[in-house]
A and B are shown apart, each in its own frame.
Chain A
C-alpha cells in the first residue's frame, strides 16, 4: 500500500488514517470471526487465522490452477469455507463438547498446526502472489490519494459486516443461533438443535475469516504463515472491543488498523514495533477495562 504522501501535515495524517482503515477492515473481519466463535463456546479459536489462510489458498488454487474468474472463485471460497467450518466443528470440536476451556484451547492449537501443515504440504512454503481484484491507481480527493485497493477492501468488508448483522438480527436462524449460544438448555427445550447451531456458527465464522484472508492476500505474500500477524492484531482488536461484542470487534479492528498506520508513520522504527504495540494494547485493556470498549455486563433487573 504505497501511497503518494500529500504535501501538508494534515493531509498526510488523514492519508495514513485512510490506509489504516483498510488494514483495520481486515483485522475487523477476522476479529468478528473470532468473536462469533467466542460467543458460541467461550473459547478463542487460535486456528482462526490458519483457517482463513487455508481458505485464501483455496481461492488461490481456484484462480491460478483452475482459472476461475475472481468473483466466482471468491463466492466459491466463501461457500467452501462455510462448509469447512461446519465440518471442523462436527468432527474436531464436537467430540470435546462440554470439555474444559483448557482442553478446547489445546484442540484449537492442534487445529492450528494441522491446518498450517496441510497447507504447507499442498502448496509449499514458497511465497506466492495473489492478484488483486481491484484496479491499480487511486482516487484523488481534496488533496488525498485513496487507493482503489483500500477502497475495495473497506467496501467489501462493510458489505460482509452488514450481511452478518442482518443475518443475526433479522432472520429466524440467526435468532436461534443467538438463543442457542446464550441459553443452550432453554433453547433445546424449544426444539433448537444447539449442536448444529454451533456448527453453523463455525461455518459463518470461517466464511467471514475467508473474506479477511482474501482481502489482505494481494497486499502481502501468500505462504502458510501469512495470516499469523493478522490473527495477532485481530486478537488485539477483539480484546479492545470486548471479546463478546461483534460491534466491538469491528470498532476494535478499525482502531488497531489506524493506530498501526500512525505508529508506522510517526514513530521512528515504528514498523518494527507493531507487534509490541499490539501486546501493549492488550495488556492496557486488560488492566484498565477488561470488558473492552463494548463489552457490557448483562442487562439484569435488580
Chain B
C-alpha cells in the first residue's frame, strides 16, 4: 500500500486555482520526484499535503485521511516538510534549529542518537552548532533544513526545490546525502524540483506537473528518456 496517496486534489489561493485534480502515489521507502516549470503547482502540492493550504479531494497518509488537517497535527504524524526557502529559523543557532526538529518527541535517548547521526551526515555542524543560522551559506542552510527534518524522525520527507539558488557541486552533494539517507534509514522522500536532471537520477518514480495537472508519470528512468521531458526539462 502507498504511504502517501493524493487523489484528485484541488487547491488554490482564493480565486486562483493552482491544482486541478492532482493524483500522486508514493510507495514506502522510495524517492518520488515531482517535476514542473515555475508556477506549475509543485509547491502547492506539498503545501496541501502538509495542510498549509486548503484543498479538496483526498490526501491519505499511511491509510488515514489527512486532508485539511492542521499542519502541526500532520507534522506530528511523521511528515517532515522542508518548505520553499528552507524554513530556516534564522535568528536561532544551528543547535536550536535541530532541537526544534525534535520538539514533539519525548524519546530522549533516540533524539540523542538521531542528533549524532545528523552530525555524522553533516560534520561541519558540530563545529558551528552555536552559530546563528542566518550566517550559514545557502547550501549549509539547506543541509540544516534536512538535518532538522531528520530530527523529527519522520516517515515521509517532503523537499521543496532543495537545489534552488545553490551551486552545482553543492546541489550534487545534497542529492547524494538525500539518497544515502533514504537508503540507510528506509525513509520515503517526495521531492519537488525544476532541476529535472538530478531529481530523475535520484528518484525511482516521477510525475510531471503542468499548470496544476499531472501530464506524465512513470518510472524515473523511463521519464528521463521521454521525448517531451528531455526537451522541456532536461534541455536536450
Which residues of A does B touch, CB under 8 Å? 172, 175-176, 178-179, 182-183, 185-194, 298-301
Contact = CB atoms under 8 A, between A and B. Distances in A.
Closest 5 CB pairs of A and B: A186-B87, A191-B104, A191-B75, A188-B71, A299-B134
A199 to B, nearest CB: 14
Contact of A175 (B96, B134, B136): B96
A182 B89 contact: yes
B96 to A, nearest CB: 6
A195 to B, nearest CB: 9
A189 B96 contact: no
A187 B52 contact: no
A192 B92 CA distance: 16
A291 B101 CA distance: 32
B87 A189 contact: yes
Nearest to B85: A186
A182 B103 contact: no
**Which of B90, B101, B134, B152 has the most chain A CB atoms inside 10 A of its CB?**
B90
Chain A at the B interface: SS class: helix
B102 to A, nearest CB: 9
A179 B50 CA distance: 19
Given A188-B71, A189-B81, A299 B152 contact: no
Contacts of B137: 301
Interface residues of B, number: 29
Contacts of A298: 90-91, 134
A40 to B, nearest CB: 14
Contacts of A179: 89, 92, 96, 100
**Which of B70, B75, B83 has the most chain A CB atoms inside 10 A of its CB?**
B75
A172 B99 contact: yes
A192 B50 contact: no
A186 B83 contact: yes
A300 B88 CA distance: 12
**Which of A179, A189, A298 has the most chain B CB atoms inside 10 A of its CB?**
A189
**Which of B52, B103, B136, B148 has the most chain A CB atoms inside 10 A of its CB?**
B103
A187 B81 CA distance: 11
Contact of A299 (B52, B81, B91, B96): B91
